[in-house]
Amino acid sequence: MSSQVPGPVDKISMIRLALKSWPEVEDYLSKCKAVILPIGSTEQHGPTGAIGTDALTAEGVALEVGRRTGVLVTPVQAFGMAEHHLGFPGTMSLQPSTLMAVLNDLILSLARNGFERIFVINGHGGNIATAKASFAQAYGTALGRGLPSSKNLRCKIVNWFMAAPVFYEAKSLYGSKEGQHATPSEISLTLHLEPSLIGKMRPLPEPAPAGPIHGPEDFRRLYPDGRMGSDPYLAKPEHGARFLDKAASALSEDLETFLKQV
């Protein structure tokens, strides 16, 4: 059965896996074997950014990609590998081995029921290496279990914040003040997705310059307010709308290409 997208849809509710019944998913699989899995993190984002920034943005972009393409979107995996942020209250992290096991199980669950293309939209850089390792493990396990979908199972991780149009827009708007963590680009997207956060924004002193990341105690010492070279006060919800559009456009094209691969 083809993994081609079934065509664009207008309502986001129509592409949320969590709102489907199992017969509806079974019918979907008769037409399309692709699914979008958003993954983020629950971690500090400076003194004004939301703890759930990475999960909010990954889910927001994933739902917009799903809306444009008609591909189902799973609930967001809101916990990622954020060990270096544990020096800040509110951070909840999975160790790399735990995250690898979680993603492996989720992929195998989807593959067991016939999904063959798992498109992971990521909002946190710390997830990348572990996600790729989990793909390799899932391929071998699916084959070893003799799952019918194992021959055609393919997984891909894409990072919305690294999409070229998003990257260049951030540099154009913020220059060097984009920084590396608690960036105005990701904060802008959260302000667009969750307007209640707008009131929390305030001017901040110059951040510590970006540099190496080590353990949580060292991170807190080097970056005492949680930022790495960024000025999130530059964030605006209207910027977030632009980032959402650029990210969704780029990743929708990536998804179309991914589904055509053999």
Q: What confidence category does residue 18 fall into, taking pLDDT thresholds of 50, 70 and 90?
A: very high
Is a pLDDT exceeding 60 seen at residue 1?
no
Residue pair 39/223 in contact (Cβ under 8 Å)? The answer is no
Contacts of 216 (CB under 8 A, 6+ apart): 83, 84, 85, 86, 87
Q: What confidence category does residue 3 fall into, taking pLDDT thresholds of 50, 70 and 90?
A: low
Q: What is the mean pLDDT of residues 131-155?
A: 96
Select from 166, 74, 154 the least CA-distant residue to 121. Answer: 74
Q: What is the DSSP string of 70-123?
A: --EEPPPB-----GGGTTSTT-B---HHHHHHHHHHHHHHHHHTT--EEEEEE-
Is a pLDDT exceeding 80 seen at residue 258?
yes
Sheet holding 117-122, edge to edge: 72-73, 34-39, 117-122, 154-159
**241/114 Cα distance (integer angstroms):** 35
**147/141 Cα distance (integer angstroms):** 9
Q: What is the mean pLDDT of residues 178-182?
A: 96
Whole-number mean pLDDT of the chain? 95
* pTM, two decimal places: 0.95
159, two tokens: 């990072």
How many CB atoms are located within 10 Å of the residue 128 CB?
A: 16
Is a pLDDT exceeding 50 seen at residue 197?
yes
Per-residue DSSP letter, 48: T
**Per-residue model confidence as pLDDT tens digits over 157-169:** 999 999 999 999 9
The CA distances from residue 70 to 46, 60, 67, 183, in Å, are 35, 15, 6, 30
Tell which CATH architecture fits domain 12-257: 3-Layer(aba) Sandwich (3.40)
Q: What is the mean pLDDT of residues 38-55?
A: 98
Residue pair 35/117 in contact (Cβ under 8 Å)? The answer is yes
Select from 235, 256, 190, 249 the least CA-distant residue to 64. Answer: 249
Q: What confidence category does residue 7 fall into, taking pLDDT thresholds of 50, 70 and 90?
A: low
208, two tokens: 């510590």
Tokens 């979908």 belong to which residue?
Answer: 149
**39/157 Cα distance (integer angstroms):** 10
